Amino acid sequence: MVGRAEAGADVLGPVYRHAHWALRLALASVFIYQGVDKFMGAGIAGFATAMELPWILGLLVALTEIAAGVLVVAGACTNPWITRLGALLVVPVMLGAIVMEHWGQWHFMATASHPLGGMQFQVTLLLVALYLFVRGNDV
């Protein structure tokens, strides 16, 4: 008996087995970019000050973002637990961002009360990470 997922493979052919890259690259590109960007401009100290975090915690956030993105991509070529570890690293970063900056507004547009916008995008990233955590490389 063929399950629903396998039935899609018959129709979509070679595209089916590579579709996981859309989720991986979307998540990884955001996290690698955001992590590297924290070292640019005002740097880690500027990010930490803006978020009212100790410098070392700002550094940890930036390094965690980079590691999460790299591991989610590397996991596709290595081991499902590498994918899961990368996805798991996303969770505290997104929960911190949601609670500290985006809570109370759903829409992503910046407003007077939420200059960094609402939590719509962060919740989406969190859910993609949770999906990859649960499924590993079986996506």
Closest CA to 123 of 96, 105, 98, 99: 98
Q: Which amino acid is at 97?
A: A
Q: Are 87 and 132 in contact (CB under 8 A)?
A: yes
Closest CA to 96 of 51, 130, 38, 32: 51
Read off the pTM: 0.85
Amino acid 1: pLDDT: 46
Closest CA to 124 of 37, 23, 56: 23
Q: Which parts of the chain register pLDDT below 50?
A: 1
Full DSSP string of 15-80 = GGGGTHHHHHHHHHHHHHHHHHHTTSTTHHHHHHHHTT--HHHHHHHHHHHHHHHHHHHHHHHS-H
DSSP 8-class letter at 14: G
Amino acid 121: pLDDT: 87
Closest CA to 65 of 102, 26, 35, 24: 35
Amino acid 6: pLDDT: 62
For the chain, give every domain's residue range: 14-135
Q: Can you tell me the distance from the alpha carbon of 82 to that of 36, in angstroms, rounded to the nearest whole number?
A: 21
